[in-house]
Structure 1
Amino acid sequence: MQYRIIPVTPFQQNCTLFWCERTRQALVIDPGGDADKIAAVLEAEGLTPAYILLTHGHLDHVGAAGVLASRWQVPIWGPHKDDAFWIDGLSEQSRMFGFPQVQAFQPDRWLEEGEQIQCGDLVLEILHCPGHTPGHLVFYHADSKLAQVGDVLFNGSIGRTDFPRGDHAALIHSIRKKLFPLGDEVSFIPGHGPMSTFGQEKRSNPFVSDRRG
């Protein structure tokens, strides 16, 4: 599997492309905005989008999903159905964050933990990791030991839980009981900022490190 990170929106959100090297089919994860920028990277890499995947319903992660799904005629999958209220409130989110109004959409399929997504030879596992939002998902490629974790975990930090239906205890549980057991060697792409590994965060992240007990 190959991947590329494309920072988008004023929040520098990490839209991520995962693709199958044999078929050149791609998964577009969290296209939060800057649709033309994302499309230009796909064209430059010679990739054909197969699905748009969403980790959660916040605007900076989903803002370009509707327009890109229409442009490419591809389905939007995710997040978990517990984030439906965020998707339904996109207009309100645009006003809240000072973004231009985005094209409304409904996911073609809500995703559940334990499901898998196949794109060419690429298979992603789905984990439901609530806390930042109730319907937050993580996409994990076991063969590459690489995860796209959205806003659950960051290099040196964790996701906010002060938005509606955020839950700090649930977030810590998601990190410690679902992500860390995947293995210290697993690298992850967060929703914002630089990559890290679960091992590094277990050792040094002040919010979830082993030192916190």
Structure 2
Amino acid sequence: MKWKQMPVGPLQENTYVIWNDANQCLIVDPGSEGSKIIQYIETLNVTPLAILLTHAHFDHIGAVDEVREAFNIPVYIHANEEDWLEDPSKNGSIRFPLGVIKAKKAEHIIKNESQIEIGEFSIEIFETPGHSPGSVSFYFANEGVVFSGDALFQGSIGRTDLPFGNYEQLLNSIHQKLLSLPEETEVCPGHGPVTSIEAEMDSNPFLTGF
């Protein structure tokens, strides 16, 4: 499996394009610049299968419909935020001067932690709320990589001062779900550089004293 980190939009949200040896592709959090994401996928000569959303804040969903319609693929989102795609007051776009963002309903609703198969991809879904109530992380065990959305960053954690955020819940999510992964696991966050579980266990100031 290979993946490409693509910072997009004014908040430099990390969209990820993931593909495998079967030339199948997944897109995680297409937040903005849909044409850029689509063009990159087309250069890979792969078949997109789905869009996976770690959560539904506006900077992570801005290009959902453009990418979905370009490839005619379904969207996966957690049940706690399924109505956020259509509601600017919940996805937060109404509070930022970047334009109101809406997307159509998702085709697949994640209702609990599970392991799913999409094409030849095997994905473990962890519920990691705190930054937002429907935040999830997508773990590819065979590849040793987790896409953590805005739960865990290099040297930091997701903000919890937005509506529906919960600091203690986020810390519990990180410790119980993410830090329980093998230390060599790569962490692909929603913003900023890639890190590892080991690095965050050793030096993340939000976690070392917990």
Contact 1:26-1:119 within 8 A present in 2 as well: no
5+ unaligned residues in a row in structure 1: which ranges?
none
2:123 corresponds in structure 1 to 124
Contact 2:85-2:102 within 8 A present in 1 as well: no
- Distance in structure 2 (CA, Å) of the matches to 1:153 and 1:121: 27
2:40 corresponds in structure 1 to 41
Deviation at 1:113, TM superposition (A): 3.5
Q: Of the candidates 82, 85, 102, which is equivalent to residue 84 of structure 1?
A: 82
1:140 corresponds in structure 2 to 139
Contact 1:19-1:119 within 8 A present in 2 as well: no
More deviation in 52-61 or 120-129? 120-129
Contact 2:87-2:102 within 8 A present in 1 as well: no
1:171 corresponds in structure 2 to 170
- Distance in structure 2 (CA, Å) of the matches to 1:105 and 1:85: 9
Q: 1:44 to 1:142 in 2, by over 3 A?
A: same
- Distance in structure 2 (CA, Å) of the matches to 1:103 and 1:175: 29
One-letter code of the match for 2:88? L
- Pairing of 1:1-213 with structure 2 (within 5 A): 1-22=1-22, 24-78=23-77, 80-90=78-88, 93-209=92-208, 212-213=209-210
5+ unaligned residues in a row in structure 2: which ranges?
none
TM-score by length of 2: 0.94
- Distance in structure 2 (CA, Å) of the matches to 1:95 and 1:170: 25
Deviation at 1:81, TM superposition (A): 1.1
Deviations 1:152-197 (A, max 9, x none): 0000000000111111011000000111111211111000000111
Identity %: 37
- Distance in structure 2 (CA, Å) of the matches to 1:13 and 1:47: 23
Deviation at 1:106, TM superposition (A): 0.8
- Distance in structure 1 (CA, Å) of the matches to 2:154 and 2:18: 20
Deviation at 1:85, TM superposition (A): 4.6
Deviations 1:1-53 (A, max 9, x none): 1111111111111100111212x111100000100000011011112211011
Q: Determine which structure has the larger helix proportion and give its number.
A: 1
- Distance in structure 2 (CA, Å) of the matches to 1:84 and 1:127: 17
One-letter code of the match for 2:17? L
More deviation in 61-70 or 162-171? 61-70
Contact 1:64-1:103 within 8 A present in 2 as well: no
Q: 1:143 to 1:47 in 2, by over 3 A?
A: same
Question: Secondary structure of the residue that 2:3 maps to in structure 1?
Answer: strand
- Distance in structure 1 (CA, Å) of the matches to 2:109 and 2:190: 20
- Distance in structure 1 (CA, Å) of the matches to 2:162 and 2:82: 15
Question: Secondary structure of the residue that 1:87 maps to in structure 2?
Answer: coil
Deviation at 1:83, TM superposition (A): 1.6
